[in-house]
Amino acid sequence: MKHVASRLVRYADKNKVIHADEILDVALRRLATDKTINHKIRSALSDIDPQLELLVPRQVDDPEKQFKRSLQRKFGLRVNLSILKEDYPSRYRKLQTYGPPSEVLLRWGLDYTYSSTISPNHFKELLGALYEGQQKISGLYKRDKKLYMAISHQAKKEGLSFKDYIETLGYHYE
C-alpha cells in the first residue's frame, strides 16, 4: 500500500490531512475509501510522515482518531485551545471526554496554544511595575489574576513549580 500512500501525499493540505472527497483520481479515491484496506493505507501514510492523516467522511474506524483528523483539518498542527473553547464549545467538550485537552493534543502529536495577551517576555517588567522594585512577591493572584494564570501556565509548560519559575525571573515568592 506504500505506492498508494505515496500517490495520496500530493492531496494533503497544509494541515497534512488528505480528505477523501478532494481526491480527483477516481481509482485512487475508490482505494482510499475502501474500508477493507483503509488501515493499510493509513499505516503506509504514517510511515511516510507520522502527521499525515486520511480523513474519510461517514466512515469511522476509531472515533478518537476520526475526531483528531477533523480537528487537525480545521486547526492544523497547532490548535488554539482558547478559540476552540469559545467558538466551538461542542468540539471542546468532546475533546475533554478523552482527557485534559492539552495532554490529549500532545498524545495525538499536535501542539497547542492559548490566546494570551501576556507573553513570557513581559512577565518581568509587569511584575516590576506591579510590585515597584520589591523582590518579594505575595498575593499576586489577588492583585492580577490574569498575570498569575499566565505565569502559572508558563511554569507548568516548563516543568517548574510557580515558586521556582518566579525565582528564575529574579523575584522571591511567598
Host H or E run for residue 169: none
Q: Percent of the chain beyond pLDDT 90?
A: 26
Query: Rounded mean pLDDT of the chain?
Result: 87
Cell of residue 170, nine digits: 529574579
Do residues 112 and 81 lie in contact, with contact meaning Cβ atoms separated by under 8 Å? yes
CB atoms < 10 A from the CB of 141, how many?
12
More confident residue, 101 or 127: 101
Query: Closest Cα to residue 102, out of 93, 92, 114, 112?
Result: 112
Do residues 52 and 9 lie in contact, with contact meaning Cβ atoms separated by under 8 Å? yes
pLDDT of residue 116: 67
CB atoms < 10 A from the CB of 120, how many?
16
**In whole angstroms, what is the distance from residue 137 CA to residue 129 CA?**
12
**In whole angstroms, what is the distance from residue 139 CA to residue 49 CA?**
48
Q: Percent of the chain beyond pLDDT 70?
A: 99
